[in-house]
Chains A and B, each alone.
Chain A
Amino acid sequence: MVYEKFWSENPVIAKNKTEVWKLEKDGLKIFDDIPHYAANGFESIPKEKWDMFKWAGLYLQRPKEAGYWMMRVVIPGGILTYDQQITLANIAKDYGRDVYDITTRQAIQFHWLTIEQVPDILNRLEQVGMTTAGACGDITRNIIGNALAGIDPGELFDTREVLYNVFEFFRLNEDFSNLPRKYKMSVSANVHNASNAEINCVSFNPATKVIDGKTEVGFHVKVGGGLSSVPMLAEELDLFILPEKTVEVAAAITTIFRDFGYREKRHRSRLKFLVADWGPEQFKEKLLEYTGPLPEKGESALKEWNAGYFYGIHKQKQEGLNYVGVNIPVGRLTPDEVIEFAELSKKYGNGEIRNCNSQNLIIPNVPDAKLEELKQESIFERFPYQPKKFIGYSVSCTGIEYCNLALVETKNRMKTIAEKLDKEIDLDVPVRMHMVGCPNNCGQRAIAEIGLQGIKMKNQDKKMVEAFEIYVGGTLNAGGKFNEKLKGKVEAEKLYDVLKELILFFKETKLLSETFLDFVERVGKSELQSKLDNILTEVAV
C-alpha cells in the first residue's frame, strides 16, 4: 500500500532534521547500505547517518566515536527456539565480548560489535528466522506478550497466533516504518497484566464480552502509556476487540499515530502526547473511522499485577507438563550460560526458552517424569527458580557501562546490593527494586516499589561522586501509580547501608505478608521520609 506522507508539506517539519532524513530515505533502507559500510569500515559512515542504524537495531555505545555498536534483536513475545538460542549465544561469544542481556521488552542485546561484523551477524540471525528490524528506531518495537502464552493455566486464551500475526503485519512494512517516534505494543491474555499494559503505547489486554448471548474472549485496548522523562499511564478505550480483529485495530491505531502523531518536536512525538491532547473518547472516535463499528467494552479479565515474574515450578494448562521460571540477575548471561540453558531446555523440555520482560526466563514443556532430575541440575545454584526476595526482583537499565545518557553505574551495582541484602535480611515478601542511571527511565524506575535514580554530586570532601535518589510506592496494580521521591541524596558507596536500614525498618514495622507497596500506602510517605532522614543522619555522614 502506498500512503501519502502529507506531513512533508508542513514547513515546521523542515526544522526537525530527523524528520527530514526520514522523508528522504526510509529507515529500513539502512539494511541495503550495511554491506558497503561493513566493507569500508566505521570511518566511512557519515555522522548524520548514525541514527538511521537504529532501524537495524543498532545504537552506538558510549563513546560514540569509538565505533562500537549495541545490537538489539527482536523476539516477539519473548519465545526462542533451541536453534535461535544457540545462534544468539554464538554471536555474543564470537563478536560481543561474552555479553548477553535480556531486556525489559523480552528482547536481547549484544554489545561491542563493529560494523564489519554486522553482515555476518544479520546473516546468522536470518538463518534462524530472526531480525533486528524494529528493535530500535521510530517503528513498532518488539511486541511484548504473555511469556506463558499457550501454556498458562490462567490465561484467557492463547495469544501466540494473534501476536505473531501482528508482528508479521508490521515486520519490514514500510507503510509503518516512518512513525513519529518509538512505538511500543503488547498483546497478552495473561490475567496478571504480565505485559505491563499501562506503560506501553498500545496494549491489548484480556477481556470478555457477551455478544449475541455468547461470552466471547478478546481484548480491551489501552493507549498512550510510556515512561521516559514524562511518564504517563495508558488510558483505556471503550472498545472490545475480538482476536481476529486485532491486526486491523493495531494497524488503525498505528495509522492514527503515523498520520496524526506530532512530528515537529521529537521530545513530544510519542503517542502519549497525542492521547493526552485528544483524550480516550476522541481517540476512539478517530479509530472507529478506520475500523468501522466495534463493540463497546466488556468485562476486564485482569486481576492482581505480577510484574512479569513467573518464578518456580508450575503446572501448565497441558496435562503432565510444567514450566520452570528462573531468575537471571539483572538479565545478564554469558554465552556459555545461554547454551547451558538451551541444552537444558532441549534435554528436559522441547528446546524452547521464554524471555520475560522482568529480564528473567522460563523453561517450558517439562514432563512430570523429568522434573526431579531437572531440579538437580547445577545451573539452578547460580540461577535459582526460587530466588531470594531482593535479587529475584531487581531490575536495572544498562547504565554508564554502555549508555551515552547514564550518569552512574547501575547493572553490577544493583546486582551487588540486592545480593548483599539477601544475605543480611530475611523477608516474607519480595521487594521490587529498579535502578536507573538517568531521568529517562529505561529501567522502569517509576513503577518500582523502591526506585533508585542515579545522579552525580559533590560530597563533603568536594569530590565528584555517584549518588542516588530514592522513590517509593510504584505499581501497575489497578491502573497503576508512579512512585514518589523521598528527600535526600545518597552517595553510591553508602546506598547499600541506607537501603538496608530502610528495609529493616520495613521488616520491623510491617504486617504479616504486607508488601512494601502496601506498607508505603499504610504508613504514608511522611513516615518513611522521617525514617530516611534519621538514616541519612546516622549512616550517610
Chain B
Amino acid sequence: MNLYRFEVTIKEELIHVIIAADSDEKAFQLVDIELEKRFLKMPEVDDISLYEKRKINNGTGYVLSEFETIL
C-alpha cells in the first residue's frame, strides 16, 4: 500500500489530494472519487498529476507547503 501525493488543477487553482492505494491506477481512480465527495457540483478538472508515492508505514505523510505545478 502506498500513500500518493497529487496536485489537481481546477479553474486555474491548485489543490493537494492525498490518496492511499495499492496501485498507481487505483490511486488515480480514487482521486476522482475524493473530488466527487468534495464538490457538490463537480467542476471541470484541468489536470491531475501524481508527484510522489511513499510506502505506507506508521507515520508516512507529506508536508503540503507549496505546489509543484506552475500555473
Contact surface of A with B, Cβ cutoff 8 Å: 404-405, 407, 438-439, 455-458, 464, 467, 469, 485-489
Contacts and interface: CB of A to CB of B under 8 A. Distances in A.
B13 to A, nearest CB: 15
A458 B52 contact: no
A43 to B, nearest CB: 20
A46 B71 CA distance: 46
16 contacts: A405-B54, A407-B50, A438-B53, A455-B51, A457-B48, A457-B50, A458-B47, A464-B28, A467-B49, A469-B68, A485-B70, A486-B70, A487-B71, A488-B70, A489-B47, A489-B49
Interface of B is mostly: strand
A456 B50 contact: yes
A489 B24 CA distance: 18
B25 interface: yes
Nearest to A485: B70
A405 B24 CA distance: 11
A14 to B, nearest CB: 13
Interface of B: 24-25, 28, 47-55, 68-71
Contacts of A464: 24-25, 28
Interface of A is mostly: strand
A455 B53 CA distance: 10
A458 B70 contact: no
B39 to A, nearest CB: 17
Contact of A439 (B24, B25, B47, B52): B52
A457 B70 contact: no
B50 A404 contact: no
Contact of B50 (A405, A455, A487, A488): A455
B48 A407 contact: no
A439 B47 CA distance: 19
Contacts of A438: 52-53
Nearest to A463: B28
Contacts of A489: 47, 49, 69
Contacts of B71: 487
Contacts of B48: 457-458
A490 to B, nearest CB: 12
Contacts of B28: 456, 458, 464
Specify which of A404, A455, A486 lies most central, judged by the most chain B CB atoms within 10 Å of its CB. A455
B51 to A, nearest CB: 6
